[in-house]
A and B are shown apart, each in its own frame.
Chain A
Amino acid sequence: MADTTADTGAGAPVFRVDSVSYRYRETVALAGVSLTIGAGERVALLGANGSGKSTLLKMLDGLIFPDQGHIRALGHELSAEALKDDGFSRMFRQQVGFVFQNSDAQLFSPSVREEIAFGPLHLGLSLEEVGRRVDDTLHIMGLEQLADRPPYNLSGGEKKKVALASVLAISPDVFLFDEPTAGLDPKTVSFLERMVLQLSDAGKTVVTATQDLELARVIAERVLVLGEDHRLAGEGPPDEVLTDRELLLSSNLIHDHSHRHDERGLEHIHPHSHLTDHGHQHG
């Protein structure tokens, strides 16, 4: 049975992660991570490949559980035991949506329409309400033309949109994005960025795991950095964290040659190719 004792008031944290560790057989994925994510926050979880970002997101979604430490979500202890309770499980799944990095893992229905209906149906909404949500979601995501196509035949960008649509239709209060822009064209990336900001304006909590510093700058109001040692290496507002060379270097997010674009007030650091020469003209 889920514990319902605390953290339920207004402004309470959505997630409270307390000294969480996790390992996949011999490989350490998280080592004593503690963090808090407040309601309505826009948080980027930055980290290099293998730093444990995806693991942490899966934990926040109650798909895997810590070896050590505790997680409280929406005011309740989040554990395998708690999720066995049908009522809690339904409430949690309705409030927390997860957009997977690999869209193929998320798309398994015979048509886009059914893919979007999957979540609302399983959460017990009426058929009428499901139909309405599917139509609305198709419309806001611009997917009407693809409604009856099988999702596996779509392009990478379209698949990502369907994956996001399938979560949007559940109307969760918390969105977890795992590397949402990886491998997408610039137009789809900016579409997703706008979508995240719109969701945030609507009061949703958005947690995005990424290694894209530019994306973190655009969509986050707070950045958490997971270090190579699988611990929280730093946190703060994007303009502080993304200009902290030492932190980014030690977390393997940039290399020595990365530099700052501050000539036009763009305070951020980005990695940069140095195979040809070292001229740093950025018009």
Chain B
Amino acid sequence: MTEDAALPDWLTGHGRKRSRDWTPGDSRRQSAIAGTLLGLSRLVRDSVFSEKIASRPGLLQNLDPRIKLVGMLSLLVTVSLLRNWYLILPLYGFTLVMAAASRISLKLYIRRVWLFVPIFTAIIVFPSLFNVVRPGDPLWVIRDFGHQVTLGPWSLGTSLAITYQGVKGAVLLILRVVTSVSLGVLLALTTRWADLLKSLRVFHIPRVFVLILSMTYRYIFLLLAMAEDIFTARTSRMVGPSSPREDRRFIASSMGTLLGKSHAFSDEVYGAMVSRGYNGEPVISHSFRTRPADWFWLASVTLAIAIIIGGDRLLG
């Protein structure tokens, strides 16, 4: 504001009557998008950043992070090697048992994992169920054309059917994804972030890779906090409800602003870390020490893997 500039009338309210009337029950509900965003932000803050589950005592929390990392990675590799879907099932069951023994709510855990499966896997495997994409023995004929159908150079066969091989492949893929995600979520939930990064360095994962992981973690937090601020600021200036369409438009237009802002801010965060001696090498406030229980757990996991892989090879 320039020196001695007078406030305009519309701002001072002089010569204007202001309505202070309002109808009870007129209050608007928070928009669905804002609600989702704020909910997500709070969830991530409270569950991921505060490391609540990781600081609770439990089976996996008590393990040495290095041993846990090796065990989990071996299980992950095993899941991707298995060729029989019914052998992945016991491994999935094993993750549930470990989750329960680590005092993780099974309802929350199962929901968290299965939430992503339809989105990321089911859509991908859906076409491969049909004989049009993957020829095989029909399991369920949806429509019999009675004659050879061709689409340009492609022959689509005489019927549209879901095949036995298609279903088998889809079940195998979905089970692999579910079990792998379950193992990943289990590792992330029960290990403090700094311990996990430190364990990666113990296994000589390059420092730059660990640095990127570490910054990504901080960055998600900043991004969420900023998105929350932008929404709150918008809500405070809005009169009347906004339609979902307006909400979507707002999200699209504010995404760029959000990225720009959080980028500038993340420079500051990095500066603050460097200023206190950070050089990309994670350091933790305690030293790792393995106990007999760690080795016992790793031996059990190795034995389970050996039996399952042996079974898989025997069954062909």
Interface positions of A (Cβ within 8 A of B): 58, 61, 63, 86, 89-90, 93-94, 96-98, 100, 102, 104-106, 108, 110, 114, 117-119, 121-123, 127, 130-131, 150, 152, 166-167, 170, 255-256
Contact size range, B? 20 to 34
Are A256 and B3 closer than 8 Å at their CB atoms?
Answer: yes
Taking CB atoms and an 8 Å cut-off, the chain B residues in 32-85 that contact chain A are 45, 49-51
B265 within 8 A of A: yes
Q: Can you list the 7 inter-chain pairs with the closest CB atoms, starting with the nearest?
A: A122-B277, A119-B276, A105-B268, A106-B272, A121-B283, A93-B277, A123-B277
Residues of B within 8 A of A131 (CB): 285
B192 within 8 A of A: yes
B116 within 8 A of A: no
**Closest A residue, CB atoms, query B218:** A108
Find B285's partner among A90, A114, A152, A256 (CB 8 Å cutoff): A114
Are A98 and B265 closer than 8 Å at their CB atoms?
Answer: no
Are A127 and B272 closer than 8 Å at their CB atoms?
Answer: no
Are B272 and A122 closer than 8 Å at their CB atoms?
Answer: no
A–B complex contacts, Cβ < 8 Å, 9 sampled: A58-B271, A105-B265, A105-B272, A110-B50, A114-B194, A119-B276, A119-B277, A122-B277, A123-B276
Residues of B within 8 A of A255 (CB): 3
| Chain A interface main SS type | helix
Find A93's partner among B3, B218, B276, B286 (CB 8 Å cutoff): B276
Residues of A within 8 A of B50 (CB): 110, 150
| Chain B: minimal CB distance from A275 (Å) | 9
**Closest A residue, CB atoms, query B50:** A150
Are B51 and A108 closer than 8 Å at their CB atoms?
Answer: no
**Further pairs besides A58-B271, A127-B285, A150-B50: 19, Cβ < 8 Å:** A63-B271, A63-B275, A89-B279, A93-B275, A97-B276, A105-B265, A105-B268, A108-B221, A108-B273, A110-B50, A118-B273, A118-B276, A118-B278, A119-B276, A121-B283, A123-B277, A127-B286, A152-B221, A152-B225
Instruction: State A36–B269 Cα separation when bound (angstroms).
Output: 28
B130 within 8 A of A: no
